[in-house]
Amino acid sequence: MSHPLFERHKPLLDQALAAIAARGYWSAFPESPSPKVYGEGAAEAGKAAFDALLNKPFPMQLPGSQGTVGAEMSPYGIPLGISYPKVDLDQLFAAIARAEPAWRKAGPEAWVGVALEILTRINKRSFELAHAVMHTTGQAFVMSFQAGCPHAQDRGLEAIAYAWDELRRIPAKAYWEKPQGKNEPLKMEKHYRIVPRGIALVIGCNTFPTWNGYPGMFASLATGNAVIVKPHPNAILPLAITVQVAREVLAEAGFDPNIVTLVAHAAGDDTAQKLSLRPEVKLIDFTGSTANGEWLEKNARQAQVYTEKAGVNQIVVDSAADLKGVARNVAFSLALYTGQMCTAPQNIYVPRDGIATAEGHLSFDQVAQALAEGVQKLLGDPARAVEILGAVVNDGVARRIDAARALGPVVLDSQTLAHPQFPQATIRTPLLVKLEAKDDAKYLKEWFGPIGFVIATDGTAQSLDIARRAAKEHGALTLAVYSTDPKVIADAIAVAEDAGVALSINLTGAVFVNQSAAFSDFHGTGANPAANASLTDAAFVANRFRVVQHRMHVSA
Amino acid sequence: MSHPLFERHKPLLDQALAAIAARGYWSAFPESPSPKVYGEGAAEAGKAAFDALLNKPFPMQLPGSQGTVGAEMSPYGIPLGISYPKVDLDQLFAAIARAEPAWRKAGPEAWVGVALEILTRINKRSFELAHAVMHTTGQAFVMSFQAGCPHAQDRGLEAIAYAWDELRRIPAKAYWEKPQGKNEPLKMEKHYRIVPRGIALVIGCNTFPTWNGYPGMFASLATGNAVIVKPHPNAILPLAITVQVAREVLAEAGFDPNIVTLVAHAAGDDTAQKLSLRPEVKLIDFTGSTANGEWLEKNARQAQVYTEKAGVNQIVVDSAADLKGVARNVAFSLALYTGQMCTAPQNIYVPRDGIATAEGHLSFDQVAQALAEGVQKLLGDPARAVEILGAVVNDGVARRIDAARALGPVVLDSQTLAHPQFPQATIRTPLLVKLEAKDDAKYLKEWFGPIGFVIATDGTAQSLDIARRAAKEHGALTLAVYSTDPKVIADAIAVAEDAGVALSINLTGAVFVNQSAAFSDFHGTGANPAANASLTDAAFVANRFRVVQHRMHVSA
């Protein structure tokens, strides 16, 4: 039964299994882009490999190819000029159907072994992938490397570990002997076969094609499903490289590479809908807008649908021992990747009568000002600022900044910076606007981008009430609280558990509310409208396969 | 953290956990109704307890009671005369909302401990429950006892064991320390709280109120959800007793009994729909018709919906070493509880050129005749026959027998028997009708009841093809094959795995295709239209709770 790739990666898998059980710090893929870790020349070779991909057809043969597609424009202002095969869906599905039987039969150890081999090979292409992530998402290079490569690979490994943890608990067979009093017992042998669901569709997003795409992709692959990857039209390359690696590994392991395929398409066409409604598609992993996610949940009823959608992330400021630390930490969360993260904070609730701090009582305006200064200090040096901000991913972000500016008094205006290397890039700093608690029609929706509202409330009790309601009704992936009062912390924990949102308490150092660590932090809970699943837990994997048994009498 | 009821039942839970891991034979609750097992006088006391319930209001106080409801008519001809509280749904949900916070906070060990205590107390009322099952479902007494009590209790325990197996893998907290090169490491403490989904609704069926109801009920309760039990209007009593025990245990353990409530209602009203669409209801377990199950899947989108619906169960007869054994076994499966089981066989495919047997070649008609004789022999003694058949649960079954009789040549007609004790009961023996493979419009749907079609095919290859298509398109919980040819067995296994249906091979002894053993047989696969879930596996429990974390820096 065992598979050589399973044996090869068993030590890695065992470490990952220990990590998901303990949930302390662990990482399989080093986040440091240092030559000491990834080897001398790895950075340069990765850059060269990326450059070699530009302005030509991407090297991938897919069944049913009919012409090409692809018009990715780097948020840094460079058209990538890469074309991808455009596939005919009927021919694609026919080819996948031919590939499936041998893959289904190969069994859990082959699925998991192949998935692990793919991940470790992807890791070797991290520098190339980092440039691909940078020039499709607009993330700065170091973030593209860390979040887009090792962190995403860790998330993929975590999904494989959860999958295996479920798969391994189903025995391949059992001997069943039922006593019959004085008569001979009944004796049966039972065989339990793991059967994948069918075809899994991964719908990628523009901002985190790998980090958000890998959990579903590897969870489905490790449970025996064929996977179709449908990238966002402006973030194809990172997933194309991923699919390329997967197909190489599959072919080398003697499987039909069409177990993993890529469907690139043009922006605005109906490829996503067509794919989602195919009867063969039994699993869908989606990251994107609430409208599209809800459309899938409602319409793709032949499939198990896992969605991560929009939400309203919030910070409750009650009191602070170290307001400068608060401001520094919040500023980074607002600025990182121009706030274009599903986990970035938006609403910051502060009592209108001000808060107690180690430096004494501060008024609402002083707190708002401190937050603004935190951002200014963080981004004071434009050369350093662009390495935090990255580039604006699309015009919608810039439009929302302008619209948000009109909502209330501006505490800190958004600045336009010039990128020293990429003059075409749009770089924007965070906007902070003051609102009143009663303005909930303004702030109780997602303003994706570097937009923060400092909201005056009657006090922390009201702040928590609003936070609870917002998370329950509009969804939230993160909630943060700052307080020196244990009672307030306890109340915030109760609100978080009621609203199903992860809570970060008094972050003033180098951990940020919008960061979620594989093997330790559950990303999303599935318990509020921002996501119907968590990355990753047992529920995320257990329904990607079924068990089919057969039984017969035996004499022994 | 631990709870006294958890400690009390830990040995039982540990055995159940070992059983679901090994999936050999194990049972917690003895199936023998013998006084040696359940105690001298237990049978008589149970009967007396049942009799004492008749013709009066059922002793249960529920919030929002407004009058009563209940018109159960025993299939054995006795009106039960029991009335149940009729509850106002708004008041009920308000009362549950008041009960939930303390229960949610109690945590996994309390939930599991309370659930186990409920089950073991239910076991002590097995004789009383057996009469309740008998006089609502029409099952004969021994089956009512076994399937309705210990087997159902085992299924409930299995669900609790799977739930705990998932719950126990989430650590309550973790220490996370991330190295920072030469700097101080980042140090955090993370807490993971198990949060139930909300309110769980169990929609009971007429024929197996406890066996089909307990898995969802105990899976939801053990994961911290409040449970509303909505019985079928003609099978309220078994679930009312169950809810009564649950409420007693909850109250004794210091919880609000409204964590488990009963919503009895009149046949034909819209209570099920109203309950199913309540926003508070986040989990629904349903057993019943395809139309109602699909309505729930489509409309109750605020909830996770687990459905067991109709299907077409099939037997492929290819060849036989022991045709008498085949006939005896199949006859029992057709006759048991008048075929009113979701697992009972319906379509029996036999090559029209006949089959090879140990006694030489037998023609199609000889095989059909042998099956008919098997039924006649089994049911030859009317006094014994009624203990296998039980009573017809409703008029629909009798009407279907009459309709099916007109579909083709009758091999064995359905007889009407008189029950020696219950002259008002409708007792029907199986009908066997000959069909041709091309008559698929007739046999490719569920004919719930003691209706078997002996279908002439071009050969076993066609039999298997039809079986595959029927299971994939119309659903199936069971498939059986009889063959002496290892190639045919292998083909049947492949068909079963492709169509997602449990396969029984060459059953000629005292194990029957329509029986499914807790801790060993997965009932349903979730991989064909007959059910979207299995009773019970990890996927059945893992989505009934979520994990919500909070994290903070620590100095140590």
3-state secondary structure of B90: helix
Bridge partners of B546, per DSSP, are B195
Among chain B residues, CA nearest to A547 = B525
- Mean pLDDT for the stretch of residues A207-226: 98
Q: Please state, in angstroms and rounded to a whole number, the distance separating the CA atoms of residues B525 and B522.
A: 7
Is the predicted pLDDT of residue B314 greater than 80, yes or no?
yes
Under an 8 A CB cutoff, do B496 and A550 touch? yes
Output the six-digit token pair for B167.
């719950």
Mean pLDDT score of chain B: 97
Q: Are B36 and B60 in contact (CB under 8 A)?
A: no
Cα distances (angstroms) measured from residue A384 to each of A47, A176, A388, B335:
21, 67, 7, 80
Q: Please state, in angstroms and rounded to a whole number, the distance separating the CA atoms of residues A548 and A545.
A: 10
What are the residues whose beta carbons fall under 8 Å from the beta carbon of A29, sequence distance 6 or more? A123, A126, A149, A150, A151, A153, A154, A157
Confidence of residue A555 (pLDDT cuts 50, 70, 90): confident
Contact list, A552 vs chain B (CB under 8 Å): 504-507
Under an 8 A CB cutoff, do A503 and B549 touch? yes
Contact list, B298 vs chain A (CB under 8 Å): 301
Contact list, A103 vs chain B (CB under 8 Å): none
Under an 8 A CB cutoff, do B23 and A501 touch? no
Q: Please state, in angstroms and rounded to a whole number, the distance separating the CA atoms of residues A238 and A231.
A: 9
Under an 8 A CB cutoff, do B522 and A175 touch? no
Among partner residues A25, A497, A543, which is closest to B548 by beta-carbon distance?
A497
- CA A106 to mean position of chain CA atoms: 29
pLDDT in tens, A22-33: 999 999 999 999
Question: Which part of chain B is CATH 3.40.605.10?
Answer: 39-168+197-309+534-548
Among partner residues A169, A176, A500, which is closest to B548 by beta-carbon distance?
A500
Under an 8 A CB cutoff, do B527 and A23 touch? no
pLDDT in tens, B184-222: 999 999 999 999 999 999 999 999 999 999 999 999 999
Output the six-digit token pair for B151.
């087997």
Under an 8 A CB cutoff, do B22 and A534 touch? no
Contact list, B192 vs chain A (CB under 8 Å): 23, 522
Question: Which part of chain B is CATH 3.40.309.10?
Answer: 314-505
Contact list, A497 vs chain B (CB under 8 Å): 193, 195, 548
Question: Which part of chain A is CATH 3.40.605.10?
Answer: 43-309+534-551
Is the predicted pLDDT of residue A16 greater than 60, yes or no?
yes
- Mean pLDDT for the stretch of residues A106-123: 98
Under an 8 A CB cutoff, do B547 and A525 touch? yes
Question: Residue B385: what pLDDT?
Answer: 97
ipTM surpassing 0.90: yes
Please state, for a pLDDT cut of 70, what percent of chain B lies above it.
100
From the list A106, A548, A101, the residue with the least C-alpha distance to B528 is A548
- Mean pLDDT for the stretch of residues B155-171: 98
Q: Which fold has domain A314-505?
A: Aldehyde Dehydrogenase; Chain A, domain 2 (3.40.309)
Is the predicted pLDDT of residue A556 greater than 80, yes or no?
no
Among chain A residues, CA nearest to B477 = A548
Q: Are B312 and B471 in contact (CB under 8 A)?
A: yes
What are the residues whose beta carbons fall under 8 Å from the beta carbon of A80, sequence distance 6 or more? A53, A54, A55, A70, A72, A73, A74, A135, A136, A237
Confidence of residue B555 (pLDDT cuts 50, 70, 90): confident
Q: Please state, in angstroms and rounded to a whole number, the distance separating the CA atoms of residues A9 and A24.
A: 21
Pairs across A and B, CB distance < 8 A: 187
Contact list, B182 vs chain A (CB under 8 Å): none
Among chain B residues, CA nearest to A166 = B538
Cα distances (angstroms) measured from residue A205 to each of A526, A527, B12, B141:
19, 22, 48, 59
Under an 8 A CB cutoff, do A548 and B25 touch? no
Looking up tokens 């809800």, which residue turns up? Answer: A294
pLDDT in tens, A424-469: 999 999 999 999 999 999 999 999 999 999 999 999 999 999 999 9
- Asked: is B39-168+197-309+534-548 a CATH 3.90.79.10 domain? The reply is no
Q: Please state, in angstroms and rounded to a whole number, the distance separating the CA atoms of residues B401 and B491.
A: 33
3-state secondary structure of A206: coil
Confidence of residue B1 (pLDDT cuts 50, 70, 90): low
Chain A closest CA to B54's CA: distance in Å? 36
Q: Are A502 and A521 in contact (CB under 8 A)?
A: yes
What are the residues whose beta carbons fall under 8 Å from the beta carbon of A306, sequence distance 6 or more? A216, A283, A284, A285, A286, A532, A533, A540
Among partner residues A171, A493, A538, which is closest to B538 by beta-carbon distance?
A538
Contact list, B170 vs chain A (CB under 8 Å): 537
pLDDT in tens, A237-246: 999 999 999 9
- Mean pLDDT for the stretch of residues B110-132: 98
Q: Are B334 and B446 in contact (CB under 8 A)?
A: no
Kindly tell me the burial class for residue B543, based on how many C-beta atoms sit within 10 Å of its own C-beta (0-12, 13-18, 19 or more): buried
Looking up tokens 């606007």, which residue turns up? Answer: A433
Per-residue H/E/C for A392-433? CCCHHHHHHHHHHHCCCCEEECCCEECCCCCCCCCEECCEEE
Under an 8 A CB cutoff, do B542 and A539 touch? yes
Contact list, B169 vs chain A (CB under 8 Å): 21, 165, 538
Is the predicted pLDDT of residue B556 greater than 90, yes or no?
no
Under an 8 A CB cutoff, do A521 and B190 touch? yes
- Mean pLDDT for the stretch of residues A80-100: 98
Among chain A residues, CA nearest to B301 = A298
First vs last C-alpha separation in chain B:
23
Among partner residues B24, B506, B547, which is closest to A537 by beta-carbon distance?
B547
Chain A closest CA to B102's CA: distance in Å? 12
- Mean pLDDT for the stretch of residues B222-251: 98
Chosen from B17, B20, B25, B332 to mutate, greatest number of chain A CBs within 10 A: B25
Residues B187, B192, B193, B198: is their CA dihedral positive or negative?
positive
Q: Please state, in angstroms and rounded to a whole number, the distance separating the CA atoms of residues B237 and B70.
A: 9
Is the predicted pLDDT of residue B98 greater than 60, yes or no?
yes
Output the six-digit token pair for B466.
């039809």
Its pTM stands at 0.97
Mean pLDDT score of chain A: 97
Which class would CATH give A43-309+534-551?
Answer: alpha beta
First vs last C-alpha separation in chain A:
24
